[in-house]
Amino acid sequence: MDADSYLAESSSLVDRYLDQVVPPASESPARLHAAMRHLLFPGGKRLRPALAFAGCEAAGSPAERALPAAAAVEMVHTYSLIHDDLPCMDDDDERRGRATVHVAFGEAVAVLAGDALLAQAFEVLAGGPAPADPERRLAAVRDLSIAAGSRNLVGGQADDLAFRAGEGGAGAIESIHQRKSAALIAASVTAGARLGGGDPALLERLHRFGEGMGVAFQIADDLLDREKEEACSLVRVLGAERARARAEALLEEALARLEDLGERAEPLRELARFAVRRNR
Amino acid sequence: MDADSYLAESSSLVDRYLDQVVPPASESPARLHAAMRHLLFPGGKRLRPALAFAGCEAAGSPAERALPAAAAVEMVHTYSLIHDDLPCMDDDDERRGRATVHVAFGEAVAVLAGDALLAQAFEVLAGGPAPADPERRLAAVRDLSIAAGSRNLVGGQADDLAFRAGEGGAGAIESIHQRKSAALIAASVTAGARLGGGDPALLERLHRFGEGMGVAFQIADDLLDREKEEACSLVRVLGAERARARAEALLEEALARLEDLGERAEPLRELARFAVRRNR
């Protein structure tokens, strides 16, 4: 098992599911549904779905059981990218080599497409065919809503916007990474593990693993994209070498959380190493 | 029991709860949290929370049991108003006699405040202290996410924006009212009834009641606000008299759904009559 093949398998699994649960572009309102799908297909690496699958496997269950969680976290991730790209936010015209949603469909439809993906992520997580018991589903809904709310994802984005106007040291930057990126990554792992039947002690360890690797992942992202000079980036404050060392330290700490979990946590370990050490 | 006092009691009940579950404006990011509260306190009539309480009573349970549903539907309603008011949507500067959120806090924070209210509505509905069993909570999450998604609220708003650019008859307008307004009203009633322990037959009746009274409510709203000339309004297409007759017919149909439910559905009946016949 290497990360590349795990990501490839995860993509094909989650893509099929997403295609079923997100209304087709032929369904009215067609423009809205096309906009919801614009950034979703083709997607990126599908790292968050892969982490949901790997979390489910770490809990001792087959990856497929995490499908509703895998699809839901990717929908939340996609919504957040669509809204981050808006003119009133980062004002980006391009993402993954294609026009951003507001450039392709207009600003109003982009806001609405993000809104709908966020709302429907909870429909997918609360519904779906997986056999997990209702208590676990409900806990996964809580994980995801907390990760997406003002104390995490949205709050991190608000502080990110404020940060660019002013100043802030390494501590402020890590706090933003923690909320804006790592919280959803941690929720991906734990929501997957919940649907896989993980016990509270395991969920706690996986949550901390996800938080640590999430921040390390974001630093790695900034190392790969040094052009974002104005952005909230540890690389800008610490320099590339020290930022890389910080990411490695966080990765080692995160991997230590998985000690004693044996073979079944191997996908999580591989994904973490890939996410932090990748060069693309 | 009259509608006014029921609404007043509902407001005081849900306001206290909302104040607990929405982070205080003193908590960082302070600007974001202040923006989330700007349109939430003071609120409007709190019709949707009252309908959640009344749905719970119709299922034979004390109103308080519906608190998580009552708070969640008001958060979703408030998010939708904040996003509808944005410059790229309806571009409104004022609501309920005060500056809209984007005027008071800027466009980026307004988008984020709406996003956070939507995400956290699901946290409130999935968490909270009410004793309802997980299966019912999960069904309430599904109700709300379906009502908020692209097949209902967001799709209705997308078609509303498209409508103003082009043309459409009474049928198109009712379809927009159905999705943009009535779906969330119906979900308010059913989510409340679910937390109150309603059986599937009752839930089905309440859903249809909510859909009918929701469209009638929207027509009543348009009758009270005839200045919105360009808007998607039955009044503009049918004239005031025929629009009023249509609202009355829908109200009677909705009330017929509650036949045989006796005293415990009286709050729902009173609220429906108030919502459709009010003059403010």
> Which residues on B lie below 8 Å from A118 (Cβ)?
115, 118-119
Question: Which residues, 6+ apart, have CB-to-CB distance to A274 below 8 Å?
Answer: A3, A4, A7
Asked if the Cβ–Cβ distance from A149 to B88 is below 8 Å, we say no
Question: B13: Cβ–Cβ under 8 A, 6 or more apart, which residues?
Answer: B49, B53, B63, B64, B67, B70
- Residue A227: its pLDDT value, please? 63
Q: What is the predicted pLDDT for the residue at B232?
A: 84
User: Would the pLDDT of B167 be above 70?
Assistant: no
B209 vs B252: CA distance, rounded Å: 10
Q: Give residue A166's pLDDT.
A: 64
User: How much is the pLDDT for B170?
Assistant: 82
pTM of the model: 0.97
Structural domain including B231 reads 3-277
Smallest Cβ–Cβ distance between A135 and the set B28, B32, B134 belongs to: B134
Q: Which helix (H) or strand (E) holds B95?
A: strand B94-95
B239: left (phi over 0), alpha (psi -120 to 50) or beta: left
Residues of A in contact with B175 (CB under 8 A): none
For residue B116, the chain A residue with the least C-alpha distance is A149
User: In the structure encoding, which two tokens stand for residue B183, read together?
Assistant: 């779906």
State which of B116-125, B224-233, B271-280 shows the largest mean pLDDT: B116-125
- The crossing angle, in degrees rounded to 10, of helices B153-165 and A30-38 is 120
**For range B141-158, the mean pLDDT:** 97
d(CA A264, CA A275): 19
Angle at CA of residue B217, ends B2 and B144, nearest 5°: 95
CATH number at residue A269: 1.10.600.10
Q: pLDDT tens digits for chain A (280 residues)? A: 799 999 999 999 999 999 999 999 999 999 999 999 999 999 999 999 999 999 999 999 999 999 999 999 999 999 999 999 999 999 999 999 999 999 999 999 999 999 999 999 999 999 866 556 899 999 999 999 999 999 999 999 999 998 876 666 788 899 999 999 999 999 999 999 999 999 999 999 999 999 999 999 999 999 998 766 567 888 988 999 999 999 999 999 999 999 999 999 999 999 999 999 987 7
CB B275 within 8 A of CB B217: yes
As a whole number, mean pLDDT of residues B84-89 equals 97
How far is A191 from chain B, CA to nearest CA, in Å? 14
Please give the C-alpha separations between residue A25 and each of A35, A94, B71, in angstroms, as whole numbers.
Answer: 8, 21, 33
pLDDT of the residue at A243: 94
Chain A from 104 to 163: CB within 8 A of any B CB: 106-109, 111-112, 114-116, 118-123, 126-127, 133-135, 137-138, 141-142, 144-146, 148-151, 153-155, 157-159, 161-162
Task: Kindly tell me if the per-residue pLDDT of B227 is higher than 60.
Answer: yes
- What per-residue confidence (pLDDT) applies to A230? 60
One-letter-per-residue 3-state SS of chain A: CCHHHHHHHHHHHHHHHHHHHCCCCCCCCHHHHHHHHHCCCCCCCCHHHHHHHHHHHHCCCCHHHHHHHHHHHHHHHHHHHHHHCCCCCCCCCEECCEECHHHHHCHHHHHHHHHHHHHHHHHHHHCCCCCCCHHHHHHHHHHHHHHHCCCCHHHHHHHHHHHHHCCCCHHHHHHHHHHHHHHHHHHHHHHHHHHCCCCHHHHHHHHHHHHHHHHHHHHHHHHHCCCCCCCCCHHHHHCHHHHHHHHHHHHHHHHHCCCCCHHHHHHHHHHHHHHHHCCC
Instruction: Please count the other Cβ atoms lying within 10 Å of the Cβ belonging to residue A197.
Output: 16
Distance between alpha carbon B102 and the CA centroid of its chain, in Å?
21
- pLDDT exceeds cutoff 80 at B1: no
pLDDT at A207: 98
CA A82 to chain centre: 14
What residue has token string 């006014």? B4
d(CA B201, CA B178): 22
Q: Pick the closest to residue B195 from B258, B127, B255, B147 (CA basis).
A: B127
Quick one: B264 exposed, middle or buried, by C-beta within 10 A (0-12, 13-18, 19+)?
middle
pLDDT at A165: 63
- Shortest Cα distance, chain A CAs vs residue B182, angstroms: 17
B5 shares contact with chain A (CB less than 8 Å)? no
Residue B2's pLDDT band, with cuts at 50, 70 and 90, is: very high
CA distance A188 to A15: 16
Distance from the B193 Cα atom to the nearest Cα atom in chain A, whole angstroms:
18
Q: What is the pLDDT of residues A160-206, one digit of tens each?
A: 998 876 666 788 899 999 999 999 999 999 999 999 999 999 999 99
Taking an 8 Å cut-off on Cβ atoms, the answer to whether A107 and B123 are in contact is: no
CB-CB neighbors (< 8 A) of A33 in chain B: 150
- Please count the structural domains in chain B: 1
- State mean pLDDT over B208-235: 87
Residue B212's pLDDT is 98
Task: Give residue A155's pLDDT.
Answer: 97
A29–B108 CB contact, under 8 Å: no
- Pick the residue of A90, A111, A159 with the most B CBs within 10 A to test the interface with B by mutation: A111
Overall average pLDDT of the B219-233 stretch: 80
How crowded is residue B94: how many other Cβ atoms within 10 Å of its Cβ? 10
A166 vs B125, higher pLDDT: B125
pLDDT computed for residue B199 by the predictor: 96
Residue A2's pLDDT is: 93
Tokens representing residue B172 in the block: 């198109």
pLDDT score, position A1: 73
Listed in sequence order, the DSSP H helices in chain B are 3-21, 30-38, 47-58, 67-84, 101-105, 107-126, 134-148, 153-165, 170-177, 183-195, 200-224, 234-238, 240-256, 266-277
Average pLDDT, chain B: 94
Task: Give pLDDT, residue B166.
Answer: 64
Q: What is the dihedral of CA A225, A230, A236, A240, to 10 degrees?
A: 10
Residue A183 confidence (pLDDT) = 98
**Chain A residues touching B123 at Cβ < 8 A:** 142, 145-146, 149
Q: Flag if B138 and A122 touch (Cβ within 8 Å).
A: no
Give residue A170's pLDDT. 82
Q: Which of B32, B155, B159 sits opposite A158 (nearest CB)?
A: B32
Place of tokens 């003071």: B42
